Amino acid sequence: MKHVSVLKSEVLDQFSYLKGKAGIFVDGTLGMAGHSLSLENISDKLKIIGIDADEEALGLVKKELSVSKHSKNFILVHNNFKSIKKILVELNIEKIDGALLDLGVSSMQLDQKDRGFSFQDSTQLLDMRMDQTRDLTAAKILNFYKENQLSQIIFNYGEEKFARIIAKNIIEFRKKTPITTIHLLLNILDISIPKSVQMRSKTHFATKTFQALRIEVNGELDGLDQAIKDFASVLRPGGRLAVISFHSLEDRIVKKTFSFLAHPCQCPSEMPCICGLVPEIKILTKKPIIPSAEETTNNPRSRSAKLRVLEKISNTTNK
């Protein structure tokens, strides 16, 4: 499937305040740079810092930029967006004018069958690493994690109600042979999830477990709340952070963190505030922005996307 940036026009609308202006924009999950390249239609004066944990994605973007007149506008960084403060220090940048986080796995990664993100080619190895320099793979989780660890991961990250039986069957299977390929995992899931449930489900029976393994391999939820706080702290007043999430676990963290930043005072409502904490941001999306019916028809992978946006406000009270 061709790479298609999700909610592109909606994202660009949120950064229309940058039109024609110079400034610094951070794309914390650059991918194939679909959103960032489109930002140049708003302003060709922006300096865009493109961060991605996937070296292969960065290589492809670098190649595309090599024939672009706007290549000088981009700074490509191989890192995780959760290290935003360190990245900006290394670039000698104090504040930024806008930022985007497009969470989860990219279309490119899903379509590269040898990366093991998709169950469409069952002959592939169970990898699922966004950052190929990391050591942990899905196969290592399946072959070395204890049964209770597997059950918790599949239940918590995949919201799979058959997590316990799946974990039990993984343990039994790996006693006979290592679980290294997608085909072997699909066999385990097939015998673990009742056929009646599989037939009624709107999604493939392996979807939830694959999601859980991918999140564990890449530590996708670890430190996401702190990363959002860090991005908010480096925004200039009037600057915005837009976050696109693709499943309820991510969106829950984004929503909760946005709410905390907008209402940091935890003092009892009936008592005078003694903490001195005042809002750093205001939330621009009371409800998340979701794809149009046309977009979900043209790009089914966008159907679960939710966009939330915050704006930094002037604040000299908090330290």
pLDDT tens profile 238-251: 999 999 999 999 99
Domain end marker among 218, 246, 279: 218
Report if residue 109 sits inside a domain.
Answer: no
Residue 188 belongs to domain with CATH number: 1.10.150.170
Domain end among 170, 187, 218:
218
Pairing verdict, β 96-102 and 74-78: unpaired
Cα separation, 16 vs 276, in Å, equals 33
Q: Is the pLDDT of residue 108 over 60?
A: no
Residue that is last in its domain, among 218, 244, 274: 218
Domain range for 194 is 114-218
More confident residue, 100 or 42: 100
Give the pLDDT confidence score for residue 1 in this predicted structure: 40
The answer to whether position 317 is within a domain reads: no
Q: Answer yes or no: do 67 and 31 share one domain.
A: yes
Annotated binding site: 33-35, 52, 81, 102, 109
Instruction: Write out the DSSP string of 234-255.
Output: HEEEEEEEEEEE-SHHHHHHHH
Residue 316 scores a pLDDT above 50: no
Average pLDDT over residues 45-66: 89
- Closest to 31 in 3D by CA, of 97, 121, 136, 111: 111
Pair 73, 126 in one domain: no
Q: Provide the pLDDT for residue 3.
A: 61
Same domain, 195 and 118: yes
Q: Are residues 211 and 251 in the same domain?
A: no
Residues 100 and 130 in one domain: no
The reply to whether 167 falls in a domain is yes
Beta bridge partners of 74: 48
In a domain, 33, yes or no: yes
Band of pLDDT at residue 72, cut at 50, 70 and 90:
confident
Number of domains in the chain: 2
Residue 318: pLDDT band (50, 70, 90) is very low
In the predicted structure, residue 106 carries a pLDDT above the cut 80: no
Q: Are residues 20 and 81 in the same domain?
A: yes
Task: Quote the tokens at residue 55.
Answer: 């070296």
CATH code of the domain in which 64 resides: 3.40.50.150
Q: Are 132 and 279 in a shared domain?
A: no
User: Which residue numbers belong to the known binding site for S-adenosyl-L-methionine?
Assistant: 33-35, 52, 81, 102, 109
List the structure tokens of 210. 């694959």
208 shares its domain with 248: no
Strand order in the sheet with 235-245: 74-78, 46-52, 23-27, 96-102, 235-245, 306-312, 281-283
- Please give the C-alpha separations between residue 254 and each of 102, 305, 308, in angstroms, as whole numbers: 12, 13, 8
Q: Higher pLDDT residue, 312 or 133?
A: 312
Per-residue pLDDT tens over the stretch 163-219:
999 999 999 999 999 999 999 999 999 999 999 999 999 889 999 999 999 999 999
Tell me, yes or no, whether 318 lies in a domain. no
Write down the pLDDT at residue 317: 47
Given this model, what pLDDT does residue 204 score? 92
d(CA 76, CA 63): 12
Task: Provide the mean pLDDT of the chain.
Answer: 90
Q: Is the dihedral of CA 195, 201, 203, 205 positive or negative?
A: negative
DSSP letter assigned to residue 309: E
Whether the predicted pLDDT of 273 surpasses 90: no
pLDDT band for position 276 (cuts 50, 70, 90): confident
What's the mean pLDDT in 72-88? 95
Instruction: Work out the average pLDDT over 149-159.
Output: 97
pLDDT at 132 over 70: yes
Mean pLDDT of 258-279: 86
